[in-house]
Structure 1
């Protein structure tokens, strides 16, 4: 192995218009020893559009070969090479290949840096019109209905604005599941084809967006959903505490999490709520 002086560069690529490419992207593409690309054909189109000639080795790095290709790229880094990682659009490792390589590089004390640039997550959040002071990124929802419903039930009480990616043909189903889990009146925005010619941002309550999506959606989709409103404080009497736990459980929250949340709202120890729910005066804390 080499002296570990290599550098891993995560480079953001345009999510729509090639003119949005950061100036450093062309420089890095031209000078990298290795360019790892999620799709080498899309890389070729990008370099042609940018008027760049890649002088280094080009290797594919996508979901199907990420595990096998990571050790090869790590070896190049440890041999002192500059490895540039690009995905089809946006920042590598954000719902795209890259995390495994970053983790391996960090573990071996390899410098990891980035070429900042376009991000569908931040772009959708900014144009959504929903609160941006606190937010979380949830990526793609599970494809199976049961798993999707459980994931959304866990997020029903999330106070931060939530950002999701979704395939166009599953957008209506995803919005319907969100309306069921979060309530039909929860404000949301569907951002389609961001920065592209047919960009569209549709805002409204989830029920309205479900009806709109029924006609079919095309293009890349990012969904932004407002967080849950502040919850009322829970009275500290036994009946109120038990009722509050039961209400959260009925909404899909696990009993353990419901007990923690109710104790927080009421300002009482978790042990007290646990004992009330389980009908005991003592016992271990959950």
Structure 2
């Protein structure tokens, strides 16, 4: 095991190649000593946003040439970076967390490997894993699926495709799209526990759990900001069925008619439109 401190390595040049460096997802104290060492000794840094990475390097007291590399970078930019790796140490970072996780960096790593260039990874912070550990949902089997599609049908199709998998599902989501995703998750069969983890590692870190309907109700009243880790527990036993009117009355105590109809439809398998019409009658009566 190498027990040398980062300071003692400063005079030792890095071997040429690609160094995949995880950076903090919020709390700057989460960067590893090894990551600091590589960022100090590399020849250049490829990053999503030079402003974001520039602030991190300034905080660390490091100055290195920065090269933008993101989803919009042309193939030529990737070719140039791979060419540089033949004689230089190139560090790859994302704006936050582990590069290549829901991130275009995999293309750079793939091309480097195909070119016979050494690729080294430095593990560290990852929002998906942090959210999973915080949620309390089963983590012996989980599936990370990145961001859910923005369009309603595509989002529903993805959830149907993944919904039968006996594992906790892990998604990234944004504040403005959270409610739509929660209601789409609420359409899945089975008694699902859902978790919303946000502001991870920051001062106001939170993780709320409950049903999709319960969480949607909360976040409708408290609109969230920033990026979110959205987790869906594996399928459980179906909710007990009963008299539809009674189920609707109970649901209407806390939910809007449309939400109550969706919840009872999931529990009973009855037509949601018919249940909505009945919920409006009960609400009015």
Q: Which TM-score bucket, shorter chain as reference?
A: 0.7 to 0.9
Alignment equivalent of 1:74, drawn from 52, 72, 82: 82
Residue in structure 2 matched with residue 262 of structure 1 by the alignment: none
The residue matched to 2:188 in structure 1 has which SS? helix
Residue in structure 2 matched with residue 205 of structure 1 by the alignment: 211
Task: Give the paired residue count.
Answer: 224
1:192-231 correspondence to structure 2 within 5 Å:
192-215=198-221, 216-229=223-236
- TM value normalised by structure 2: 0.75
1:8 and 2:14 matched? no
1:143-158 correspondence to structure 2 within 5 Å:
143-158=150-165
1:176-195 correspondence to structure 2 within 5 Å:
176-183=183-190, 185-195=191-201
Q: Quote how far apart the aligned CAs of 1:106 are.
A: 1.4
Q: Could you tell me how far apart the structure 1 residues matched to 2:56 and 2:205 are?
A: 20
Residue in structure 1 matched with residue 145 of structure 2 by the alignment: 138
1:87–1:97 Cα contact (<8 Å) kept: no
Q: Could you tell me how far apart the structure 2 residues matched to 1:39 and 1:96 are?
A: 13
Q: Quote how far apart the aligned CAs of 1:97 are.
A: 2.6
Closer, same or farther in 2 for the Cα pair 1:165/1:114, shift >3 Å? same
Residue in structure 1 matched with residue 104 of structure 2 by the alignment: 97
Q: Quote how far apart the aligned CAs of 1:51 are.
A: 1.8
1:161-180 correspondence to structure 2 within 5 Å:
161-180=168-187
1:33 and 2:43 matched? yes
- TM value normalised by structure 1: 0.75
Closer, same or farther in 2 for the Cα pair 1:182/1:32, shift >3 Å? farther
Q: Deviations over 1:165-211 (max 9, x none)?
A: 0011000111110111245x410110011001111100111111111
Q: Deviations over 1:70-103 (max 9, x none)?
A: 11111112x2211100110001111123011011
Residue in structure 2 matched with residue 272 of structure 1 by the alignment: none
Unaligned runs of 5+ in 2: 1-14, 239-268, 270-285
Alignment equivalent of 1:60, drawn from 50, 60, 68: 68
1:66–1:97 Cα contact (<8 Å) kept: no
1:120 and 2:117 matched? no
Closer, same or farther in 2 for the Cα pair 1:182/1:98, shift >3 Å? farther
Alignment equivalent of 2:58, drawn from 33, 37, 48: 48
Q: Quote how far apart the aligned CAs of 1:67 are.
A: 3.1
Q: Quote how far apart the aligned CAs of 1:66 are.
A: 5.2
Q: Could you tell me how far apart the structure 2 residues matched to 1:24 and 1:161 are?
A: 31
1:11–1:91 Cα contact (<8 Å) kept: yes
1:172–1:213 Cα contact (<8 Å) kept: yes
Alignment equivalent of 2:31, drawn from 21, 40, 51: 21
- Measured on the aligned residues, the alpha-carbon RMSD in Å equals 1.7
Closer, same or farther in 2 for the Cα pair 1:102/1:45, shift >3 Å? same
Residue in structure 2 matched with residue 256 of structure 1 by the alignment: none
